[in-house]
Chain A
């Protein structure tokens, strides 16, 4: 049974309020709904939520669905930013439309394509799906942007998603090439890493465009 878009939005907001912001419930205002809202009624019918006065509680029955809605939204954001290269507000808006299409295994495929990302572009966690847990169990190495590697870790440069050809050229002439080993020394105030016997410092914007296969 597929939820309406409106219901999905409500579930998502409810999950964020109760799971990530430490509330026990969300007020109508937070969810942006009125008492007779269609989406709200729909969720109420499915017994995903309880409505007491003007506050909405997430029931145990609705948790799994809510978690997956949030997951789809954040996967959509990652897709917009990393693959389709649509950033900023327009990326967020497109992700909001796109998330509702990620059903029936499409989310799994996208998650696999993106190599099971753990955070959205805004740094919020993406709840892991079955595919993520399976990949983890198989011990697959993840490809992540340099911004998600911890200081002291090393890995192999997987690819560069740099769009500006000058930047690309610069990085390549510095030896930042796919296949080369990289060791990250620090992440603040700038990213400092070694490739070969040379040390480099780059800013966060550039670090986001270098993808590392962790070892």
Chain B
């Protein structure tokens, strides 16, 4: 590891802390840029970087994923800890929740112990004060030996003080607190075996080694080179002697120190009455009231707002009025007049043209649907409802090999499966990630597709019910099978339940815009590429050749041969495919049975290009190709079966 140098690089500020304490909101306030602020743990899976200027000096600010202690358990925590191992900070700002100082202060102790330049921000003071919590800041500052600042970043309280503290101080390294004498002896014994230079203190490394932190073991083996052997021997000896209760012993020691630090400095009034939010919270967690509440949320949030308003009103206006009546005819007219070359005319304003297909789809159909979905999602997310939902469905999800936590990526999948596939990272075991990825690829339609399919099927009575039933059955069947077939450990469920809050307008808008921006940047180019590929396919004749190749499959499903094109489009964008069916439906080419079979097959059929690429990135080529082939075969098999069943039972005829 490189020697520690401060050099003349931009000084860095690193924000660390448990999930859901307001790191991201502090980051936003400091840098003026926006990251997503959530009311559920595990949204910041990546590190955000931004800049801020304080007293004429430019600082780089790093926002890390939530971490509970210096010893990481999950992927996100590892990402956060790596920052501390690899970056040389001007200051590490530990952000904690004023309502849970006693629980979170042990990590402050660990950071001080690691020899990092520190500042402690006690955030969410407003809510703590409402709970009757009083904190004596001067006392705490004195006892901890580092700057301690009161803040409520969501209400912009304490920001001035934080900036001032960053600008004023050349941060001293705090003095670590002592554990019980026996533990101190062990730490001394191990620390004396170190020879290399590290960013974290030897004391801290010794404790992490004792707790069998694998990453630190590798780091130290590298750092010590040939001297690693005696050190590891020493660690093994001590670890064995303390095998029964080391973790607990260390935690209890930290708890003791925390208690001493807080004695007299933190008080809380007793006997608070349950608030309205507490009562509402327990209603959402009681299955008898919770499930009706969930259905109401789905009905108003998803069906009415996204389906009705987004996919209906807004799309109608943009697509039928703006694009179909004004923009597209105008563009085609321009093309006819100024583009004598057939190929260029086709590329820009032809059947699969960039303007007539890609931009129209992206702006007039997909954006309103995805936008309204993200808005609804952000509002629900900001209230803190999702952890309650996770708790409510945990038992059900256990049957499909997941735990309640998976509800977040799966719900997000209804917005955008690509984004949801990235978020499966927050699940703890590889097994859960694979199962969630398969279910997302297979049975969760994204909002764009959902919007088009709702519009498509609502004209045929019964079709929507058959489609929904098919999706639910496939989802459960594959989930049940996956739970039995995918190897790996059983999931375990634990989750912190944040208080229910009124969503904050600024937060909700920021989140929605960030997600829409992400979506547009990631997905928009793919629309253009898809449209260019289709154009090339049409001109070269390759498209009609592929469509011909697919015809026997279509016949097998009882579909007209033209439907093949919709399936090929479907790979470029899930909703492209569905929109293709829409065109066929309006020209009266499909019977109700054919329409339903096509919609079901298309929904199950392969994920779009973007989702496939993300699957590769997250799960590796082997797994994602396996999923790809499995999903394709299953989609057509289900389509075939559904066609037979529908024809046989004559349900939709």
Residues on A facing B (Cβ under 8 Å): 160, 165-175, 177-179, 185-186, 188-190, 192, 195-203, 205-206
Contact = CB atoms under 8 A, between A and B. Distances in A.
Interface stretch (B245-253, B296-304, B522-530): B245-253
B248 A200 contact: no
A202 B494 contact: yes
Interface in B102-120: 102-103, 106-107
A200 B99 contact: no
The interface centre, meaning the residue of A168, A170, A206 with most chain B CB atoms within 10 A of its CB, is: A170
Interface stretch (B142-150, B222-230, B279-287): B279-287
Contacts of B248: 160, 168, 172, 177-178
Contact of A201 (B131, B251, B398, B494): B494
B100 A203 contact: no
Interface of B: 68-69, 71, 73, 99-100, 102-103, 106-107, 128, 131, 133, 211-212, 247-248, 251-252, 255, 268, 281-282, 285-287, 387, 390-395, 398, 403-404, 492-499
A169 B247 contact: yes
B494 A170 contact: yes
Contact of B252 (A171, A173, A177): A177
Contacts of A195: 103
Contacts of B106: 173
Contacts of B394: 189-190, 201, 203
Contact of A197 (B73, B99, B281, B493): B99
B283 to A, nearest CB: 11
B286 to A, nearest CB: 7
A185 B495 contact: no
Given A173-B73, A205-B492, 7 more contacts: A172-B248, A172-B251, A190-B392, A192-B285, A195-B103, A197-B133, A198-B497
B68 A173 contact: yes
B102 A192 contact: no
A189 B285 CA distance: 8
A206 B100 contact: no
A83 to B, nearest CB: 14
Contact of B102 (A190, A196, A206): A196
B391 A190 contact: yes
A165 B404 CA distance: 22
B492 A206 contact: yes
Given A169-B247, A175-B102, A190 B493 contact: yes
A63 to B, nearest CB: 40
A18 to B, nearest CB: 35
Contacts of B71: 169
14 contacts: A169-B69, A170-B494, A173-B106, A174-B494, A177-B251, A178-B252, A189-B391, A189-B394, A198-B496, A199-B496, A201-B394, A201-B494, A203-B493, A206-B492
